[in-house]
Structure 1
Amino acid sequence: MDKDRCPHVLFFPVPSQGHVNPMIKLAELLALTGFRITFLNSHHNHERLLKFTNMTAHFARYPGFELRAITDGLPLDHPRSGAWFLKMYEEATEMKIKQSLRDMLVNMSTPVDYMIVDGFLGFALDVARELGIPIVYFRTSSPCSFWAYYFIPDMIQAGELPIKGSEDMDRFITTVPGMETYLRCRDLPSLCRATDKEDAYMKLIVKHTRKSPQADALILNTAEELDGAILSQIRTKCPNVYAIGPINAQLNNRLNAKHGESHDHFSNTLWEEDRSCISWLDKQRNRSVVYVSFGSIMSMKREELIEIWYGLVNSKSKFLFVVRPNSVIGKDGEGEDVVKELFDKTKDQGYIVDWAPQEAVLNHAAVGGFLTHSGWNSTLESIIAGVPMICWPYFSDQQLNSRVVSEVWEIGLDMKDVCNRKMVEEMVNDVMVDRKEKFAKSAAEMAKLINESVNVGGSSYSNLDRLIEDIRGMSSKTRPKTIVL
């Protein structure tokens, strides 16, 4: 690479909101250093970002920041709901994406010097190795879930998987190093509930996770202070780990230092935000509102929505509820009808929006608790804001995140595998009334610790600086492979 040319880094996330979100923030962090960035999205998500965000204008401030799109292998009119992304890993589809990625890299006018790709895109590692490009995996889910995924074969060999039945759910798992004291069958990532040890989805996740040590390094969206014990375990398999999170707090700090602004004026959501909820929050008392949101993928049954709604109403707490369009499952449109019917009854107590500016909501003085699906981004955002959580996990890493929130960090409650109005009422009252000060104090202490990690001299701040310098060093080497067109 020309010594006077800044490194050119390609970012490539799995095409899902929870994966795109932290990766585009990391891309901006590197753009702040002067790096040339190419951010590669699926055509579908690229169009949604252009429609619902000011992304193009925002990144125009960074010379050489380019937004590009690639196929996700599915027709543009595919609904992309539920676990649709598993179709990406069907052999023909994956080969199509892999070839598109290779063709793009070969034909770029400015060669890519370094790739930061989602840890679930194993084919990208194959392409990078063929073309001689250094590559780092970014696992956007929690470190604990990564570690649990890694040891699925060991759990199977030890007879701890498959889970034998509902009576077995509270049995402790002993074969995941560092988690022996708190990890139960119930807390394993949802795919571990498969009754067949040859389950295709489980084998797919294990395949990609076990491929991680082949990358040049591993990026995790956490801090040493938050996940130090598990990070020490992960380094026994992947020695070079950059714990640089929480990335949104890191970006806020560095934007403030360079431009005197935070990133909250820029949205990278795939959904249109309804900011009217902020005006509603402005009228509420401090720490009086429960914020309820279950992320960008989760769908709930009509009956589940009703139970959660009654639990919230019976708790007497004010609530702000996010209900995405088409996220409630019911017969013949009943799902959407029940949303309007229920919330028409509680206009004085609750407020409903299709999608909310979540970080702004969590940092609002009126919010005192968060009823969440325990996605990793949402968990980190709640920790940074110092908001206690009530966890109702849906799938993937969320089951494990909710256990860690309640049993390891003690900054919330875990409602997994239960959905009835009595339990919702009890847990909301516990967080918002009965043990309000205890949870608020624990959450505030954790927020202080984590926010310090992204300040100058903090662990995450220093780890990001190390990543930046390592990219410069690796990018300065001439790529050894000859590209064959």
Structure 2
Amino acid sequence: MAGEGRPPTVRRVVMFPFPSPSHITPMLQLAGLLRARSLEVTVLHADFNAPDPAGHPEFTFVSIRENLPREVVDNADMVEQMIGFNAACEAPFQAALEALLLQQEEPSICAVVVDGQWYAMLGAAKRAGVPALAMRADGAATFLSMLATPRLRVDGYLPVKGERLDEPVPDLDPLRVRDLIRVDVSDEATVLRFITLVPDAMRASSSGVIVNTFDAIEGPELAKIRAELSRPAFAVGPLHLLSPERVEHGLHAPDRGCLAWLDAHPPRSVLYLSLGSVARIDRAVFEEMARGLAGGGVPFLWVLRPGLLRGSGEQAPPSLEELDDAVGRNGKVVTWAPQREVLAHPSIGGFWTHCGWNSMMETICEGVPVLAQPCFADQTVSARYVTHRWGVGFDVGKVIERENIANAIRNLMAGEDVEARRERAQSLKMEANRCAAEGGSASLAVDSLVEYLLSL
């Protein structure tokens, strides 16, 4: 029986993930760590993109039974959609939380942990009388930039003006104005509204913040967050190293045959390319990427998921052979890859990535250098840290153009500074492993988080 032989449970924590695989996975990883420390876990969830309870019999799953308007579900503007999700789920979440309080038996609820995108749920939890913490699915640097948004608006850095794009942002080194959060398909006023709503809710209604990061890569940023909020910030990452689970998040089943293909290549010879589960690119960008890969002259493994090309619906992108036989001859294409295993494979010498935070944590933890192509949101912040704070890679350039890409690939895989870059990447890997080890800073942070939850 689950939990047999464990010490008596003292309290229960309620968790509310945002309905996206890249957000649900780290939330459930944290839930497992809390349960291993004798907290019972109830997962409140939306019916939209609901997690599978069968995969976690140790948790109690409860739907908030929201009613999402069709215009919210179908909205192609992701920022408007997130605002719509908050508006539609706020009342059902509060009602579900209050119902848990009314019907609860021992152990009693000590706190709720909500995803950082659920800004409205912080106020809802406060009204229900339950202390709430926000769990960020991005890095500390991104969240710090969100906290700075009111100041940046007053100082004239936001809304962004073209002539200021390359100006450094005060107190957010190494960020430039162009590195601040952006979503090109969204109205800038809507983006700024969302970015403002998040820190406003944190200041008004949160009891703290949880970040999937570690001091060796974002120590100064974590310290600034604690000072800015005057409340705890727990660096509990890298969560995928602390968690016993090896679940890969993604919308498609991974093609494990690519691992055998990697086996046939020498160490550090293959470039792995994936732009994650959400980003969309134009056909012209796809063609430049393909030609740049051909010009880079190295073997590559490319994740081309259905829906990657803008306007294609869920159709698969064109094959490389459709562009040119020479492009496809040196590479392998899959719909989805088992990313952690790919990054851990000895043949991988670089990762061309959108710089989503889960991918950042995974590549840092495997010591793989990065070619950065941020697409939207927090990815621009992470890409700047790759190149100018952590020193483990290059960006593909302001313009996605085949010759720039080919040169960047050659520099990443075999440039004159390749060994120094690999050494730096390996150093960060060692730091990540130290943090995740028993008695390391991440494990201690989870212990401190549990103590804090029990004190609320």
- TM-score w.r.t. the length of structure 1 is 0.84
| CA deviation map 1:407-455 (0-9, x unaligned) | 0110111235320111111111111112332221110011111211122
The one of 171, 176, 179 equivalent to 1:184 is 176
Show CA shifts across 1:46-90 (max 9, x none): 2xx54xxxx624x23x3xx12333456436898767544633424
2:372 is aligned, of 391, 394, 400, to 391
Matched, 1:168 2:172: no
Q: Shift in Å at residue 163 of structure 1?
A: 2.6
Contact 1:191 1:202 in 2 (8 A): no
Aligned with 1:17 (options 15, 21, 32): 21
Give 2:385's match in structure 1, choosing from 376, 400, 404. Answer: 404
Matched, 1:381 2:375: no
Q: Which amino acid in the other structure matches residue 235 of structure 1?
A: R
| Secondary structure in structure 2 of the residue aligned to 1:190 | coil
Alignment check: 8 A CA contact 2:122 2:132 kept: yes
Match for residue 299 of structure 2? Answer: 318
Tell whether the 8 Å contact from 1:218 to 1:241 is kept in structure 2 after alignment. Answer: yes
Matches within 5 A, 1:3-402: 5-46=9-50, 49-50=51-52, 56-57=54-55, 59-60=56-57, 62=58, 65-70=59-64, 73-74=67-68, 82-84=76-78, 86-90=80-84, 94-108=86-100, 109-110=103-104, 112-165=109-162, 167-174=163-170, 177=171, 179-180=172-173, 182-191=174-183, 199-213=189-203, 214-238=205-229, 239-251=231-243, 255=244, 263-264=245-246, 266-329=247-310, 336-337=317-318, 341-342=322-323, 346-402=327-383
Per the TM alignment, residue 373 of structure 1 is displaced from its structure 2 partner at its CA by 0.4
Flag the 1:76–1:356 CA change in 2: closer, same or farther, 3 A. farther
Question: By how many angstroms is 1:106 displaced?
Answer: 2.8
Bigger shift: residues 319-328 or 338-347: 338-347
State how far apart, in whole Å, the 1-side matches of 2:193 and 2:313 are: 36
- Offset at residue 331 of structure 1 (A): 7.1
Aligned AA (1:171) = E
Matched AA of 2:54: T
Q: Which runs of 4+ in 1 moved over 4 A?
A: 75-82, 191-196, 330-335, 343-347
CA separation in 2, counterparts of 1:406 and 1:467?
32
Q: Is contact 1:72–1:88 with CA below 8 Å preserved after alignment?
A: no
Q: SS of the counterpart of 1:100?
A: helix
CA contact (8 A) 1:302 1:338 kept: no
Cα offset, 1:389, TM superposition: 0.3
Q: Could you tell me how far apart the structure 1 residues matched to 2:45 and 2:109 are?
A: 16
After superposition, the Cα gap between the structure-2 partners of 1:331 and 1:291, relative to the gap in structure 1 and judged at 3 Å, is closer
- Distance change in 2, residues 1:268/1:330 (3 Å): closer
Across the aligned residues of Structure 1 and Structure 2, the Cα RMSD in angstroms comes to: 2.7
Contact 2:320 2:327 in 1 (8 A): no
In structure 2, what is the Cα distance between the partners aligned to 1:303 and 1:88?
29
Q: What is the identity percentage for the equivalent residue pairs of Structure 1 and Structure 2? A: 28
Q: Secondary structure at the match of 2:49?
A: helix
In 2, Cα distance between equivalents of 1:458 and 1:348: 45
Q: Distance in 1 between matches of 2:194 and 2:226?
A: 22
Relative to the length of structure 2, the TM-score reads 0.89
Correspondence for 1:470: 452
Cα deviation for residue 8 of structure 1 reads 1.6
Equivalenced residues, count: 442
Unaligned regions of 5+ residues in structure 1, if any?
A: 256-262, 475-485
Q: Distance in 1 between matches of 2:132 and 2:73?
A: 31
- Relative to 1, partners in 2 of residues 1:295 and 1:195: Cα closer, same or farther, differing over 3 Å? closer
Relative contact order: is structure 1 or structure 2 higher (C-alpha 8 Å, sep ≥ 6)? Answer: 1
Give the aligned partner of residue 453 of structure 1.
Answer: 435
**SS of the counterpart of 1:40?**
strand
Shift of the 332–321 alpha-carbon distance from structure 1 to 2, 3 Å rule, reads closer
